[in-house]
Amino acid sequence: MFLDELPEFHSDVLEVLRQPLEDGEAQISRVSGSVTYPSRFMLVCAMNPCRCGWYGHPSGRCTCSEQSVRRYLSRLSGPMLDRIDICVDVPALDYDELSGAGAPAESSAVIRARVNAARAVQTARFGPDGPACNAQLGPRELRDHCKLDGPCQQLIRGAFERLGLTARGHDRILRVARTIADLDGEADIAVHHLAEALQYRPPEHLRI
Tell me how far, at minimum, the Cβ of 170 lies from Zn ion, in Å.
33
Contact call for residues 189 and 148 (beta carbons, < 8 A): yes
Give yes or no for residue 55 binding Zn ion (CB under 5 A).
Answer: yes
State which residue, 56 or 158, has the beta carbon closest to Zn ion.
Answer: 56
Distance, in Å, from the CA atom of 193 to the CA atom of 184, rounded to the nearest integer, reads 9
Q: What burial class does residue 183 get, using C-beta atoms within 10 Å of its C-beta: 0-12 exposed, 13-18 middle, 19+ buried? A: middle
90-to-48, 56, 79, 82, 115 alpha-carbon distances in Å: 10, 12, 23, 20, 21
Residue window 131-170: x/- pattern of binding to Zn ion, with contact defined by CB under 5 A: ----------------------------------------
Q: Minimum distance between the CB of residue 64 and Zn ion, rounded to whole angstroms?
A: 3
* CB closer to Zn ion out of 69 and 165: 69
Interface with Zn ion in residues 21-50 (CB under 5 A): 50
With CB under 5 A, what is the number of residues at the site for Zn ion?
A: 5
Nearest partner of 40 among 8, 56, 17, judged by Cα: 17
Site membership for Zn ion, residue 64 (CB under 5 A): yes
Map residue 36 onto helix, strand or coil: strand
29 or 67, CB closer to Zn ion? 67
* Contact set with Zn ion (CB under 5 A): 50, 52, 55, 62, 64
